[in-house]
Structure 1
Amino acid sequence: MNSAPYAAIDLGASSGRVMTARVTSGTLSLTECHRFPNTPVRTGDTLHWNILGLYAGILDGLRAAGPVRSVGIDSWAVDHGLLDADGALLGNPFHYRDPRTEGVAERIIHPHVPPAELYAATGIQYAPFNTLYQLAAARDTVQLQAAKRLLMIPDLITYWLTGRQGTELTNASTTQLIDPRTGDWARDVAARTGIDLGLFAPLRHPGDPAGELLPHVLRETGLSGPVPVRAVASHDTASAVAAVPATEEHFAYICTGTWSLAGLELDAPVLGEESRAANFTNELGIDGTVRYLRNIMGLWLLEECRRDWGHPELEALLEGAARAEPLRSVVDAGDPAFLAPGDMPARIAAACRATGQPEPRTPAETTRCILDSLALAHRRAIADAARLADRPVDVVHIVG
């Protein structure tokens, strides 16, 4: 019997890590083998992911993990790498916070597929960084014209580790090009918007084989082959929701991190106009489930403030926030005005001023404003999800 642990590569918006997991007698034991920063790189006015730095961190983590039974990879959604005919990467992947997609939906996509039709076909909430809009923004670029393959970030890492290409479904469902009722491509949307679905590798599902570590990867990491790689729920939220320790049917979840995602796990999508107007999304999960949720700006607000303040200790900020007056000022934690990096404390103060509320005067007051705003946003999201899906909620699980 193989007693080696499983390896999980988890790429988040601010850091990545390689974990090992052992399952014994009904107990899951996790060990963090290596954690590494995920720091975007700005060149001129363009924001990119440092994908080669992330890949190097993954190799370091697999080396630290030692012998493993298999490997799985998850990451954030919507972003991707473009490959040429030889399988070489055509430039660093764009960061979803890059501003090149501003106004693309209104100029390029919605004249061909109006928002209500687009939502009814894909179930995905409007966000300017959705993969559909990223591809529309790149339509006339030499890079996209030279591309023969598009791989979502976990699929790109899988390709580099195994040499095999695929498009895992939970992450693909965030592209706004998947029909959540069928789990297949929304071909009519692609045709009307000029998206070539031939760019995408064949769909694969969580649990499907995704190849084995290549010989040069084995040498680089010191592992002995064969080491299989399996597709997992490669959108990190899909994996997080799959791990919710729910024993009851009527549960809600809050997944906290750079983004917060609050909602329900359903058997079928909710595609009505009221759901679209409430900005809920229908992303696919494991075993045919639908993650019906609202995206909330999350702890990005606080992390950007800390960056502006020179990275003060989090514990001191939270202690100060606990002493600050509650609900003195709150902001809309889903406001696109908070999407871009930089100058976050000033933007929060401006939002408070514009709504006739007192401006936070200190880092502690700003932190309190952020946390109160997130709490209210989570409460609204769960209440709205329960109403729109016509499903009661008996318990809320919070996972990270």
Structure 2
Amino acid sequence: MRRVAAVDLGASSGRVMLGEVGDGVLNLSELHRFWNGPVQLRDTLHWDILHLYRSLLEGLRSAGTVHALGIDSWAVDYGLLDGSGRLLGNPVHYRDTRTDGVMEKLLERVPAAELYAITGLQQLPFNTIYQLAAEHLLDQARTLLMIPDLLGYWLTGEIGAERTNASTTQLYDVRAGDWSPVLAERVGVRLELLPRLREPGDVVGTLLPAVAEETGLPTATPVIAVGSHDTASSVVAVPAADERFAYISSGTWSLVGLELDAPVLSAEAREANFTNEGGVDGRIRFLRNVMGLWILQECQRAWAADDLPRLLRDAADAPPFAVLIDPDAPEFLAPGNMPRRIDEHCRATGQEPPRSRGATVRCVLESLALAYRRTLRLAQTIADRPVDVLHVIGGGSQNELLCQLTADACGLPVLAGPVEASALGNVLVQARALGEPLPDLDAMRALVRTTHQLRRYEPQGKPADWDAAESRMFGIR
């Protein structure tokens, strides 16, 4: 039996999980869960990276005997090291306003078509390339490390960049499978800032003596590079039986897409703002970001309401399609009073704002389901890949109302689960690196299917109602 620790950092919470993998066995148990979120310091929104590191160590202290550990996190954000390997300032949060207007200015120097032909990435204002264009510490920096690589460096002293996360920076050539020196030069990023790339399954290094002493783990414990972008790890754990599937990695963000063997770099893909991100075993995650449960989370924060089941019951009783919003509208990106922003968005689009919390939640979830519907249909058309089933993985797979609305909107059966998909994918890649007989993604997914219970949602209601709602929603933009 392989016992490994999976450090899984999401944009709103982090966890250290213990994974056990053996013949017909895939167990996951929580060792330590902790808050993660933005910290406003004067005019800049930061991540509290030292809190994350301390919490990681606390989780590892309770792990007992493990054969390895791996780290995954959200994408695009980074830390900068100086020439002596010290961190230059707290990493800036991707929702910070420093990138306002930066994307538009950079695209005047590097046309969008050229950028897409190299990177295949969706244009998002917080992509790493735009953050670096707004970075004040770049001249002092000697090394750029994505968040999992930074934490791995503090554990082992070894510098490198795991490929799936590197592919989200918009400095990565998706066809060459390496950093793009052309783009780095064009946007003023010194190529020597970008570390040597690692593959999922590579050994990063072993624990530094001080880390071993603090955690109680042996210094020989290896840190293994997993699919360090959490969505890359999540997709490993999609319990698909064949290739005719789509997925929604549902959490603070919703990543809606397909798994392909090669990137799709057509004009249609670029104009529809789809991204081609690196996956485990060389696969491509052809997807588009949808705002996700962030809007609901911010509503709950504004209401100081932690009784989500009650809110969902009230939402289920609210009238359907009364109010719709564009969940990807820029006013919903930053933290703030989300119920007020929804009201303002409704008035600006000629709609009467929702009159209750249940109606607000219904509005958010129906609007998300419609955004999933539009994105999934575009993905199938552009990639010429038909889909028979939609897998919803991650925390959003527990939201029964959202899963049913998604099945209704997309006209596809939804298989919900596993909840902790990113941690499971992390564990599976580690287990294979340690010699467990899991030769490919098919074998990993088969193990997930046989060890985890899934919930199936069949489409209900009238497709014509969703057709009309989609016309309304995309007509109010």
Q: How many residues align?
A: 394
For residue 134 of structure 2, the aligned residue among 134, 137, 152 is 137
Partner of 1:12: 10
Partner secondary structure for residue 341 of structure 1: coil
In the alignment, what sits opposite 1:53?
Answer: 51
Give the letter for the 1:59 counterpart. Answer: L
Match of 1:169 among 153, 163, 167: 163
Q: Give the whole-Å Cα distance in 1 for the aligned partners of 2:193 and 2:241.
A: 40
**Deviation digits for residues 112-147 of structure 1 (CA, Å, limit 9, x no counterpart):** 211111111111111111000001011xx2x22111
Name the stretch that deviates more: 167-176 or 190-199: 190-199
Q: Which moved further from structure 2: 166-175 or 323-332?
A: 323-332
Distance 1:344 1:397 in 2: 28
Structure 2 Cα separation of the partners of residues 28 and 379 of structure 1: 32
1:373 alignment counterpart: 367
Q: 1:321 aligns with which of 311, 315, 340?
A: 315
CA contact (8 A) 2:245 2:388 kept: yes
Pair 1:270-2:267 in alignment: no
Secondary structure of the residue aligned to 2:66 is: coil
Q: Point out where structure 1 has 5 or more consecutive residues left out of the alignment.
A: none
Give the structure 2 partner of residue 86 of structure 1: 84
CA offset digits 1:60-117 (Å, max 9, x no partner): 000011111001100000000001111011110000000000101222x112211111
**Partners of 2:269 and 2:73 in 1: CA distance:** 26
Q: Which amino acid in 1 is paired with 2:115?
A: L
State the superposition RMSD in angstroms.
1.0
TM-score by length of 1: 0.97
The one-letter code sitting in structure 2 at the alignment partner of 1:260 is: S
Contact 1:4 1:67 in 2 (8 A): no
What is the letter of the counterpart of residue 112 of structure 1?
A: R
1:25 equivalent to 2:19? Answer no
The 8 Å contact of residues 101 and 134 in structure 1, kept in 2 or not, is answered as yes
Work out the CA distance in 1 between the residues paired with 2:50 and 2:305.
26
Task: Report what 1:41 is aligned to.
Answer: 39
3-state SS of 1:333 partner: coil
- CA displacement at 1:4 relative to structure 2: 5.5
CA drift at 1:222: 1.3
What percent identity do the matched residue pairs reach? 60
Quote the Cα distance in structure 2 between the aligned partners of 1:274 and 1:329.
Answer: 30
1:12 Cα deviation after fit: 0.6
Q: Does 1:65 align with 2:45?
A: no
Matches within 5 A, 1:229-244: 229-244=223-238
Structure 2: distance between partners of 1:147 and 1:184: 21
Alignment of 1:123 onto 2:120: yes
Amino acid at match of 2:127: N
Cα distance between partner residues in 1 of 2:51 and 2:42? 20
Alpha-carbon contact 2:2-2:22 (below 8 Å) kept: no
Partner deviation per Cα, 1:192-239 (whole Å, 9 max, x = no partner):
111112101101110111001111111101122310011000000000
Distance 1:40 1:374 in 2: 23
Give the secondary structure class of the aligned counterpart of 2:7: strand
Amino acid at match of 2:267: E
Shift of 1:24: 2.4
Query: Does residue 395 of the first structure (1) align with residue 389 of the second (2)?
Result: yes
Q: In structure 1, the residue corresponding to 2:123 is in which secondary structure?
A: coil
Q: Hey, what does 1:336 align to over in structure 2?
A: 330
TM-score (norm 2): 0.81
Compared with structure 1, are the counterparts of its residues 4 and 385 closer, same or farther at alpha carbon in structure 2 (3 Å cutoff)? closer
> Which protein has greater RCO, CA pairs closer than 8 Å, 6+ apart?
2
**What residue number does 1:110 align with?**
107
Q: Deviation per CA, 1:161-184: give whole Å up to 9, x if none.
A: 000010001000000011111211
